């Protein structure tokens, strides 16, 4: 069910967030300031020895500077205790002594209908399981036995069998009280205006139940038993319960396996159901699979929520290589500091199921150990032809890397990728340059990582000169046009105010104190504040028209494009006001802190210079230590995301949460 924002705000105000979190953590006495409502503890979401989990009663928020989790009272309860959103609200309301509001009849009806669909799909799952063990499931049982699956594995994954009949499941569900509309809404039958009588979607297939993040059966995958069927695997169609591109097979079990590894494990994405099941039986329980399609953006986000560096494992054939290269582009756009992917490529002609069934888990463990970082896959893809024997081809290669790195949304990660590709490219092009004008063969004397054979790091006098030249080229091509834009953090703040001018009034003191470094943003802010003169409360249309009249239309369009790349969605028009305010407050806090640290760093550098000139040998080491500490915190905050993904119930951004 949905709740009024005023009711949720009242709960947050009544109950200090430390009262909710304090039941699950031990506060660190040295760092905690009780009088200010400023609390620190070891993070309950990941194992750590040094407290990096911060909780502020004044803001009603928590944030871990180690793993990046962030949220409010309700987010903490849903993420850590697994409560649904309404359950979390009820829990805080009970602590506050406030009665729950009367439910919205329409919302309750929708929730009831959704629950009834889950009941119907669960009935179907039980039916398929029973039929696997019946007489007509003998062929399916034999197939699973030939694939090496044990009875325990079959039971764990609740595998079943859909009989070869047009109405067997439909009649069974009807006999159990399921209505025609429910059966159709679950995607269990094929129906439509051109079909006189609906019929079972899955027939003569081995059935793989697909579970939600809360481990409820929401759909099925089916493998045909007959070789004459064109579609070897089919899934349920899209329903109220099931959106194929937003679900990963076996995610809940894999996430538990990662958490059980004290946070040291990762999630492995393979290509199919049988790969996941075979790996599980071999003792590798942290594998998932997309549902018969290429990995989607939403599925990659699910992986990143489970682990900061998932491993994408592809079959060892041309199709697997093409799929890996497609995943490279998908991953680049979503990179953040500390968040990436690795690529594990299987031996030619092998998939995970083949490998562990024939040779056990040892070869697969070796494949995982050899998994390549994303940067290596970028390099391999762009240099796959290996022929760059003319200036034009070398220029084309350099241009290709410029386009690749431009796709990275996060500014810090993009900067490091640009530098990494420059260094690789410099060594690579130097090794491919014909000696004395002779036609040396392309690819001679270099490794796949771009370093000259027999040369550590691929650097030498010539390579260093090439790096300098490449740096100049990169600055003129890869980064051209970016210098005029503000930093993503400034863009988030400005665009949030442009799209949600209500915050100009609600957060007037904070907004009026902002000093943008980008001159055009400073001018935009001044014009927005002018709109509020005399107590006016501008809406989005009025603010937009005012800024367009001031000549900022093109610049604002570029800001929107920049934020679209960085996925800071709370700055967008679609975000609910409450979500926009939460994102604005977080971004502003990071912005102010990094500016203060930058100023402190400059002052320390000046003090060190003065102490050095005056010969104050005692002061210099102390000042250097302070400078190192400030620089360390500054670097950490620069890597910290300005907008923390995860909240957004009001904007409909939190999937799989009741009350969204």
Q: Which of 43, 73, 96 is the last residue of a domain?
A: 96
Question: Residues 400, 426: one domain?
Answer: yes
Q: Does residue 69 register a pLDDT over 60?
A: yes
Q: Does residue 606 register a pLDDT over 60?
A: yes
Question: Residue 343 — φ and ψ, nearest 5°?
Answer: -120, 120
Q: What is the mean pLDDT of residues 18-32?
A: 90
Q: What is the mean pLDDT of residues 157-165?
A: 95
- Report yes or no on 319 lying in a domain: yes
Asked if 77 contacts 88 with a C-beta cutoff of 8 angstroms, the reply is yes
Mean predicted lDDT score pLDDT of the chain = 81
Q: What is the mean pLDDT of residues 441-450?
A: 40
Within its chain, how far is the Cα of 431 from the centroid?
38
Question: Residues 517, 624: one domain?
Answer: yes
- Position 652 scores a pLDDT of 54
Which range (29-38, 101-110, 187-196, 284-293) has the least confidence? 101-110
Name residue, tokens 């000139």: 613
- Report yes or no on 604 lying in a domain: yes
Q: Which of 379, 400, 417 is the last residue of a domain?
A: 379
- Report yes or no on 652 lying in a domain: no
Q: What is the pLDDT of residues 481-521, one digit of tens each?
A: 333 578 888 888 989 999 998 888 877 777 877 888 888 88
Name the more confident of 412 and 603: 412
Question: Residues 499, 434: one domain?
Answer: no
- Report yes or no on 428 lying in a domain: yes
Asked if 277 contacts 321 with a C-beta cutoff of 8 angstroms, the reply is no
Name the more confident of 533 and 76: 76
Q: What is the pLDDT of residues 378-420, one digit of tens each?
A: 998 998 877 788 888 888 989 999 999 999 988 889 999 999 9
Q: How far apart are CA 49 and CA 68, in angstroms?
A: 16
Question: Residues 117, 192: one domain?
Answer: yes
Neighbours of 643 (CB within 10 A): 26
Burial class, 515, CB count within 10 angstroms (exposed 0-12 / middle 13-18 / buried 19+): exposed
Helix (H, G, I), strand (E, B) or coil at 54: strand
Q: How far apart are CA 31 and CA 539, in angstroms?
A: 42
Tell me the H-state helices in 134-250: 138-146, 151-156, 168-175, 180-185
Question: Residues 339, 437: one domain?
Answer: no
Question: Residues 326, 342: one domain?
Answer: yes
CATH number of the domain at 81, please.
Answer: 3.90.580.10
List C-alpha distances in Å: 432 to 392, 437, 445.
Answer: 13, 11, 8
**Residue among 374, 208, 375, 170 at smallest CA distance from 291:** 208
Helix (H, G, I), strand (E, B) or coil at 213: coil
Question: Residues 399, 309: one domain?
Answer: no
* Confidence grade of residue 140 (pLDDT, cut at 50, 70, 90): very high
How many structural domains is the chain composed of?
5
Q: How far apart are CA 428 and CA 463, in angstroms?
A: 9
* Confidence grade of residue 473 (pLDDT, cut at 50, 70, 90): very low
Q: What is the mean pLDDT of residues 298-308?
A: 85
Helix (H, G, I), strand (E, B) or coil at 645: strand
- Position 477 scores a pLDDT of 32
Question: Residues 220, 263: one domain?
Answer: no
Q: Which residues partner with 61 through β-bridges? A: 56
SS (H, E, C) 310-376: CEEEEEECHHHHHHHHHHHHHHHHCCECCECCEEEEEEECCCHHHHHHHHCHHHHHHHHHCCEEHHH
Percent of the chain with pLDDT over 70: 83
Q: How far apart are CA 191 and CA 496, in angstroms?
A: 45
Question: Residues 492, 635: one domain?
Answer: yes
Could you give the dihedral angle defined by the CA atoms of residues 452, 458, 462 and 463, in that order, rounded to the nearest 10 degrees? 120
- Position 110 scores a pLDDT of 65
Q: How far apart are CA 338 and CA 323, in angstroms?
A: 24
Asked if 148 contacts 281 with a C-beta cutoff of 8 angstroms, the reply is yes
- Position 558 scores a pLDDT of 84
Q: How far apart are the first and last CA of the chain?
A: 7
- Position 343 scores a pLDDT of 95
Tell me the H-state helices in 60-149: 73-80, 85-96, 105-133, 138-146
Q: Which of 450, 477, 504 is the last residue of a domain?
A: 477
CATH number of the domain at 192, please.
Answer: 3.90.980.10
- Position 100 scores a pLDDT of 87
Q: How far apart are CA 70 and CA 32, in angstroms?
A: 18
Q: Which residues partner with 41 through β-bridges? A: 27, 53
pTM for this model (two decimals): 0.56
Q: What is the pLDDT of residues 330-374, one digit of tens each?
A: 999 889 887 899 999 898 878 899 889 888 899 999 999 999 999
Q: How far apart are CA 217 and CA 119, in angstroms?
A: 9
- Report yes or no on 206 lying in a domain: yes
Q: What is the mean pLDDT of residues 462-485?
A: 38
- Position 124 scores a pLDDT of 96
Name residue, tokens 């943003």: 521
- Report yes or no on 444 lying in a domain: yes
Question: Residues 599, 492: one domain?
Answer: yes
Strand bridging mode 342-348 / 372-373: antiparallel
Within its chain, how far is the Cα of 515 from the centroid?
31
Q: Does residue 658 register a pLDDT over 70?
A: no
Asked if 604 contacts 623 with a C-beta cutoff of 8 angstroms, the reply is yes
Domain that holds residue 432: 383-477
- Report yes or no on 482 lying in a domain: no
Tell me the H-state helices in 360-487: 361-369, 374-382, 391-406, 411-432, 461-477
Asked if 651 contacts 350 with a C-beta cutoff of 8 angstroms, the reply is no
Question: Residues 404, 367: one domain?
Answer: no
Structural tokens at position 585: 């407050």
Q: Does residue 74 register a pLDDT over 50?
A: yes
- Report yes or no on 566 lying in a domain: yes
Question: Residues 401, 334: one domain?
Answer: no
Q: What is the pLDDT of residues 234-279, one digit of tens each?
A: 999 999 889 888 899 999 889 888 865 444 478 999 988 999 999 9
Q: Does residue 42 register a pLDDT over 80?
A: yes
């Amino acid at each position: 069910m949905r709740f009024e924002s005023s009711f949720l705000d009242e709960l947050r105000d009544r109950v200090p967030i430390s009262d909710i979190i304090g039941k699950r953590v031990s506060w660190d006495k040295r760092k905690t300031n009780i009088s200010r409502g400023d609390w620190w503890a070891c993070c309950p979401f990941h194992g750590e020895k040094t407290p990096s989990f911060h909780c502020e009663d004044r803001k009603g928020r928590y944030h871990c500077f180690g793993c990046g989790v962030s949220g409010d009272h309700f987010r903490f309860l849903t993420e850590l205790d697994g409560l649904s959103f309404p359950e979390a609200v009820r829990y805080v309301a009970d602590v506050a002594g406030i009665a729950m509001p009367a439910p919205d009849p329409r919302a309750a009806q929708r929730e009831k209908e959704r629950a009834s669909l889950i009941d119907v799909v669960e009935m179907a799952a039980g039916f398929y399981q029973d039929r696997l063990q019946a007489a007509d499931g003998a062929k399916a049982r034999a197939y699973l036995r030939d694939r090496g699956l044990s009875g325990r594995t079959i039971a764990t994954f609740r595998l079943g069998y859909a009989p070869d009949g047009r109405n067997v499941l439909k009649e069974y569900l009807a006999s159990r009280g399921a209505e025609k509309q429910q059966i159709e809404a679950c995607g269990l039958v094929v129906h439509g205006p051109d079909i006189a009588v609906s019929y079972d979607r899955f027939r003569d297939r081995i059935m793989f139940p697909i579970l939600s993040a809360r481990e409820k059966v929401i759909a099925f995958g089916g493998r045909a038993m007959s070789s004459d069927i064109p579609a070897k695997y089919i899934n349920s169609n899209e329903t109220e319960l099931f959106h194929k591109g937003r679900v990963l097979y076996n995610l809940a079990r894999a996430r538990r396996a990662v958490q059980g590894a004290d946070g040291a494990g990762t999630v492995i994405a393979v290509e199919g159901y049988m790969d996941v099941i075979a790996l599980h039986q071999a003792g590798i329980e942290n594998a998932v699979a997309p549902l018969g399609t290429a990995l989607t953006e939403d599925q990659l986000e699910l992986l990143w929520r489970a682990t900061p560096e998932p491993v994408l494992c592809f079959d060892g054939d041309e199709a697997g290589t093409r799929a890996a290269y497609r995943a490279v582009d998908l991953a680049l756009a979503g990179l953040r500091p500390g968040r990436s992917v690795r690529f594990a490529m299987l031996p030619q002609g092998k998939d995970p199921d083949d490998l562990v069934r024939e040779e056990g888990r040892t070869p697969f463990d070796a494949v995982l150990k050899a998994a390549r970082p994303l940067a290596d896959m970028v390099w391999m893809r762009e240099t796959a032809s290996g022929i760059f024997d003319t200036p034009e081809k070398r220029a084309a290669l350099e241009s290709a890397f410029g386009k690749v790195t431009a796709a990275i949304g996060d500014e810090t990660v993009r900067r490091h990728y640009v530098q990494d590709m420059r260094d690789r490219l410099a060594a690579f092009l130097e090794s491919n340059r014909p000696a004395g004008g002779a036609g040396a063969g392309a690819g001679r004397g270099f490794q796949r990582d771009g370093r000259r054979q027999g040369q550590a790091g691929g650097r030498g006098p010539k390579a260093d000169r090439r790096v300098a030249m490449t740096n100049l080229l990169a600055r003129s091509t890869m980064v051209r046009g970016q210098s005029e834009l503000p930093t993503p953090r400034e863009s988030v703040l400005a665009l949030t105010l442009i799209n949600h001018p209500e915050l100009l009034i609600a957060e007037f003191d904070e907004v009026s104190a902002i000093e943008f470094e980008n001159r055009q943003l400073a001018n935009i802010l001044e014009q927005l504040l002018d709109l509020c003169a005399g107590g006016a409360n501008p809406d989005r249309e009025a603010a937009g028209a005012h800024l367009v009249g001031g000549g900022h239309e093109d610049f604002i369009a570029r800001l929107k494009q920049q934020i679209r790349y960085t996925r800071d969605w709370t700055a967008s028009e679609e975000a609910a006001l409450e979500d926009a305010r939460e994102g604005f407050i977080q971004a502003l806090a990071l912005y102010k802190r990094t500016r203060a640290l930058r100023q402190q760093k400059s002052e320390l550098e000046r003090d060190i210079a003065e102490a050095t000139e005056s010969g104050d040998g005692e002061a210099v080491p102390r000042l250097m230590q302070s400078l190192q500490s400030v620089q360390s915190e500054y670097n950490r905050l620069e890597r910290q995301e300005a907008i923390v993904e995860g909240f957004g119930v009001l904007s409909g951004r939190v999937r799989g949460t009741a009350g969204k």
